[in-house]
Chain A
Amino acid sequence: MALQQLVNAIVFGSVLTLFALGLSLAWGTLDVLNLAHGSLFVFAGFLAYEFSSHVHMAFVFLVLSCMIATGLAAAVMELVAFRHVRLRFASKRQAEMSMMVASIGFSTMLDTIVGNQTQDTSFGPAATAYTVSRTTIGSVTITNIDVVIVVVTVIVAVALDQWVRRSRTGRAVRSIAFDPATSSLLGINVNGLAALTMFVAGALAGLAGVLLAVYVGAEDTTTGQAYLLTAFAILIVGGVGSVRGAIAAAFFISIAETAVVAYGPSNWSNGVAFLLILLVLLIRPAGLFARTRFQRT
């Protein structure tokens, strides 16, 4: 029983990781607190439902096409709004706030489109798009979907971590986070890289969205909000912009929430995330896993 709960927590934590990584990437490098991230996530589930009910395609292609679509949607946000905010606003605080509000606007638009197309009912990808098979080992039941989610998460998280840390582009992206003006003087294409970063963040939201849609079978426009709020907690606990911190925090929170649902007062499970946000911000605002660094004012 306890082992089964642990398996559930790990699978749930994997979806959360994928979701939070995109959010963390956008905030950590571009200062965009993208409130539309949850809507992109649901949008991906919606696209998977639309695609799979009209065309029959292999599951891999279904996931990839949804990822590309949400990635492009996020890149459009960057091109339409965030880029101009970055160019026009001298003060960082004003820019951050304006980008957050613009993302609220995008979120409203996406949610309305999905809500109207589905008549605000819940939806999920057609059952023909994938097959579920169960394996029981002892007292634990694992589906192939669980395995796919965990494996994909591990691959993506490692790849992202290495990309941001090691690759030339990744280092350029981190330099934007540190000081966009100087990076641009050093010959880094700030606008292009910002669009690429938003594309990656959106694609991660899409990947998480499709995998969750397959995992739980159905979702609606409010699903995104719940995930967004949990992802906030992950970002704050893990430290904004830290890939490894986000992974650790995602599993920590998913295990904590699963434990509260299974053994504690289950109504309070939502409170776990919000309480963590408040506590961590009060005690260690930089996040539990962040290295303290010199900050210029």
Chain B
Amino acid sequence: MTSLASISSWFTTNQVLIENILIFVLLAFSVQVALRTGIFSLAGIGFYAIGSYTAALLVKDGWPAVLAVFAALALTAIIGYLLAVLLVRLRDLYLAMATFAFDLMVGVVALNWTGLTGGALGVNLIPVSVSLLGLILITIGVMVLLTLMENGTLGRTLSAVREDEQLALSFAVDTRRYRRFAFVISSMLGCLAGAMHALIFNVIQAQDAGFNLIVLALTMVILGGFGSWVGAALGAFLLTWIPIRLTSVGVWWPVYYGGATVLVATFAPGGLIGLARRGLRGTLGLWNRRIGLQPVGSAQPPAHPPPAREIP
């Protein structure tokens, strides 16, 4: 019982930090799902804003929180689908740019549609209607769904769409459909993060989802590694936790993390999680060699290469 009590008191003292981390984890998932399918989309941040406004305004109108979140998700799914159809021709940096513009356009609309969004003042006094436990359960649920999405036929298909669209097409994979699917999922995850932020911290500011949030979310995903949701979660955790916990790094902290971003982006394309995996594989390989096992998938080349076939 004492350990249970100490755990709950630890949760109470760190509540805001944990809530922040989990919301960023959800947002990072939004970017990661898109990147993993080869879609360089940052639209999740625009949907973060749409989700937070929709959920907050509905709850303030007296809707129950669950319904409000579902309504926000449905709305973003529709907008996300339309956006995916519109942007179907764009790839890579051009897609990134278009979604960037979409995010900032959402911000401009939020700032100027004063009647609905409260303009620069934002939305205040939103009833707090999601508990920490609820947020934790939602995050775990999303993690389970993402695990399912990364494995099996669906996971391999999405990887194929990322690696080589033409090849995937020739294997009868409707790449446009899968790209739309990933885009909509990414939009909904962004919306979920925004809705959670609004319903937990009970205030929205028009400049919440701006340039800085886009850059932060992208950095989290790249630092952690976009190959799997674990990397995105790690990146979100590190970039939220370190600046709060290590106050000693102080005002110069962004210099270190900017430098780390440069190094990881340049030398570790798989992100920190990729580095960790490689390190783990390295140590395992060392251990295997010590006990005389061949590591899987590293068959030695034959000592004598087969003679070259004669060309008739």
Query: Which residues on A are within 8 Å of B, measured CB to CB?
Result: 27, 31, 33, 35, 80-81, 84-85, 88-89, 93-94, 96-102, 104-109, 111-113, 116, 225, 229, 232-233, 236, 265, 267-268, 270-271, 273-275, 277-278, 281-282, 285, 297
Contact = CB atoms under 8 A, between A and B. Distances in A.
Interface stretch (B63-71, B74-82, B260-268): B260-268
Contacts of B104: 229, 270, 274
20 contacts: A27-B93, A31-B93, A84-B267, A93-B38, A97-B35, A97-B40, A99-B265, A101-B218, A101-B261, A105-B263, A107-B258, A108-B255, A109-B255, A111-B254, A233-B101, A268-B108, A271-B112, A277-B98, A278-B102, A281-B98
A101 B104 CA distance: 19
Say what secondary structure dominates the interface of chain A: helix
Given A104-B215, A232-B100, A112 B90 contact: no
B82 to A, nearest CB: 12
A102 B97 contact: no
Contact of B262 (A102, A111, A232): A102
B165 to A, nearest CB: 9
Contacts of A99: 265
Interface in B86-144: 86-87, 89-94, 96-98, 100-102, 104-105, 108-109, 111-112
B257 A281 contact: no
Nearest to A98: B265
B108 A285 contact: no
Contacts of A88: 266-267, 269
Contacts, number: 133
Given A265-B112, A297-B166, A112 B261 contact: no
Given A105-B258, A232-B97, 7 more contacts: A33-B93, A33-B96, A89-B269, A97-B92, A98-B222, A108-B255, A265-B112
Interface in B41-72: none
Given A80-B262, A281-B90, A285-B94, A109 B219 contact: no
Lowest 7 CB-CB distances: which A-B pairs, in order? A105-B261, A108-B258, A105-B262, A277-B101, A109-B258, A112-B254, A101-B265
A85 B261 CA distance: 13
B101 A274 contact: yes
Contact of A102 (B109, B254, B265): B265
A12 to B, nearest CB: 19
B117 to A, nearest CB: 13
Contacts of B215: 35, 104, 107-108
A114 to B, nearest CB: 11
A229 B97 contact: no
Say what secondary structure dominates the interface of chain B: helix
Given A108-B257, A108-B258, A229-B211, A281 B97 contact: yes
A93 B94 CA distance: 11
A274 B105 contact: yes
B252 interface: yes
Contacts of A267: 111-112
B251 interface: yes
Nearest to A265: B112
A270 B105 CA distance: 8
A81 B262 CA distance: 7
B265 A85 contact: yes
Contacts of B218: 101, 104
B259 interface: yes
Nearest to A35: B215
A278 B89 CA distance: 13
Contacts of B86: 282
A271 B262 contact: no
Nearest to A273: B101
A110 to B, nearest CB: 8
